Amino acid sequence: MLGRVVGTVERGTPIEVADRALDVLGLPMPPFQLFELVGPAVGLHVLTSLREELGEAFPASPGLERIVAERLPVVQEAAAPGLPRRVRPELQEAFGAEGSHDGEPLDEAGVLDDVLTALTLEIDRMLSEGVVESPAQIDTAMILGAGWPFHLGGITPYLDRTGYSERLLGHRFTPDGVANVPA
C-alpha cells in the first residue's frame, strides 16, 4: 500500500492528498505515519527490495531516498491525542514541487483507486501462484497483521463488494461476498 501511495506522489500527486486518500478505509493510521513508525530507512529498503525482486509494480522513489539521506521528519504532531499524525506539508519538497512530474496528479479518489487496483491484482497473483491457499488467509493476515478494519470483513470481501475483483479479474474472491475470517 505504501509503495503505491508513494508512487502517486512521485508522479505529481500532492503529498497531503496522498496521505488522506486511504482515510475512508479506516486503517489504524495514515500511510506516512506508518512510514514514520516503521522507520524511513526500513521502508525504503523494503520498497527497493520489492522493486529489485518483483519489478516495476513497485516504484523507485527518489523522494524516499532523499528523506532517508537527509533524515527529514515525516509527520507532524497529532492535532489532539488519539488523532492521526499527518504528513508534514514541507515534505513535498523531497518529492519535488506539486505537478512538476511527468505523471498526472491524482485526487484522493484516484489514489484510493490506484491502491485498491494494485491490491486486487497482488491478491490474485498470490492466490494463483500458491503463495496462500485461500482468500481467508489473506483476510486474516490483513486484519491481524496490517490492521485492516475487522468490520469490513476482510480485504477480499471488501474488494468484491466494491467491484474491484469482478472488474479487474472477472470473478469474485469470495463466492457469497462475506467475510472469510474465522470467528
Burial class (CB in 10 A: 0-12, 13-18, 19+), 73: exposed
What are the pLDDT digits (tens) for 76-123? 999 999 999 999 999 999 998 655 556 789 999 999 999 999 999 999
Name the one residue in this structure whose C-alpha cell is 474491484.
164
Is the pTM higher than 0.85? yes
Helix (H, G, I), strand (E, B) or coil at 45: helix
What are the pLDDT digits (tens) for 18-58? 999 999 999 999 999 999 999 999 999 999 999 999 888 88
Domain ranges of the chain: 2-95, 108-169
Burial class (CB in 10 A: 0-12, 13-18, 19+), 162: middle
Q: Given CATH 1.10.1040.10, say whether it is the number of domain 108-169.
A: yes
User: Which of 84, 85, 86, 48 has the alpha carbon at shortest distance from 64?
Assistant: 48
Distances (CA, A) of 105 to 9, 13, 52, 94, 120: 8, 4, 26, 16, 22
